[in-house]
Structure 1
């Protein structure tokens, strides 16, 4: 399997005030670019043969990993994704991971991939229950949506058939841009979805069916109980949490 890490996003959000890096992937944790934590995990997985990192020159040294190749980012996230998928367009499915989830672990990705094997789809999208997030990271603040299955947040891990992205680029870009804005996403899906979402009665299966109607592709929501999939670093409090946890992990073990 091939994996893609999306590391071309510019540091123009809340982190810009405190972090000098031009790209979010280059923001440092323990004197390392944040994206290296994700690359380390993917490069260590026997299931992954190649890791394509969408990133500008100078942020990482790709020679540190035998599996890593770099792809220049585009102007927008979707442009970057398209450029990466053009390198793997003949693959069946490709694992896509954001560059701002430094807490991610191999077992979380393996669990997601195993869940994807349970039913066929063109694109799999992860989501995590609020209870799982708060049980592990009680101070983190995320964007949640209340569904029939419970209150969840969108994940940052996907499994996608490249041909689907290349075929439905414009429509997928619109939906992808709204993934952290559930109300706007529901408007795209239809008025009935908005009403049901506000009432907390919208089901994952209904979203999947509507996505297939709109795009002509089969999507599947994948529930993950691994909170690190849903905890990305997009504000100073997230970065402080990641730095504290990873610093603790990397402390030498006392004998």
Structure 2
């Protein structure tokens, strides 16, 4: 039996007149990628659920946790849940969330980036857009607000956590690290798409989606010089993203977050055990 914890609506939700730090009068549209990649999902099977997004952790599904975190941010005005089986996720989410006017459920295709490209900037997902994933179960309103506070007009921004931050809090955590001059970084599954100029980056991501865990293959698409500098760690992450953005005629930067938990998603059983322990301690 799924436990549904009501959203606290005692404080007023922001409206379109509330200003965020980099968006003028506009609140952000948050897109949650809650679909599944082709083939069986071992994490869903191990948890005896049909979809990975519905894996329960400490009394709530991962999808519920991400939705509630987004609603807790004063910068988010609308949430869009995208999945191949959007209606099934809506039914599983619980009436207190599923029937809210500021949450929509949209059917997606098999490709994450292709699906995002098709909806961003439309009436269903107006700019600016924040993209995250349903397995980002440790996401909080505080993390989201910190990410948006770090946004200063970039067409594209990517949330990351520096390795020193992660190891100070969770020395045994195993993540995928992108290594550059000055540090190594792991993604936080937070992406800011500010305006129409961001769409070429989404299209590019669609072409390299299968290499998402291999940073060197992605940088190879921008030419041998940038690849060599990335591999030799003679360029910072910020400069590497800026050069990649230049080739797409847009401004791109990382946003470094001070929260180790921001880079811990649920990709494997060890992640699920770690996240479960963190949430049980956090929630008493």
| TM-score > 0.5, shorter chain as reference | yes
Q: 1:41: Cα distance to partner?
A: 0.9
> 1:167/1:185 Cα in 2 relative to 1: closer, same or farther (>3 Å)?
closer
Please tell me whether the aligned partners of residues 165 and 260 of structure 2 are also in contact (alpha carbons under 8 angstroms).
yes
Q: 1:17: Cα distance to partner?
A: 5.7
Counterpart check, 1:71 vs 2:106:
yes
> 1:153/1:22 Cα in 2 relative to 1: closer, same or farther (>3 Å)?
same
Match of 1:52 in 2: 80
Q: 1:89: Cα distance to partner?
A: 7.1
Match of 2:14 in 1: none
CA distance in 2, matches of 1:142, 1:98: 17
3-state secondary structure, aligned to 1:9: coil
Within-5 A mapping of 1:94-109:
94-109=129-144
Q: 1:144: Cα distance to partner?
A: 0.7
Superposition misfits of 4+ residues, deviation over 6 angstroms: none
Q: 1:112: Cα distance to partner?
A: 1.0
Q: TM-score if structure 1 supplies the norm length? A: 0.86
CA distance in 1, matches of 2:51, 2:249: 34
Match of 2:93 in 1: 61
Q: TM-score if structure 2 supplies the norm length? A: 0.78
Counterpart check, 1:9 vs 2:44:
no
Q: Deviations over 1:6-43 (max 9, x none)?
A: 11124745525623334321222134321111111111
Please tell me whether the aligned partners of residues 208 and 221 of structure 1 are also in contact (alpha carbons under 8 angstroms).
yes
CA distance in 1, matches of 2:217, 2:178: 12
Question: How big is the alpha-carbon RMSD for the aligned residues of Structure 1 and Structure 2?
Answer: 2.4
**What are the ranges of 5 or more consecutive residues in structure 1 without an aligned counterpart?**
none
Q: Deviations over 1:106-156 (max 9, x none)?
A: 111111111102xx3211111110111122222211011221121111221
3-state secondary structure, aligned to 1:170: helix
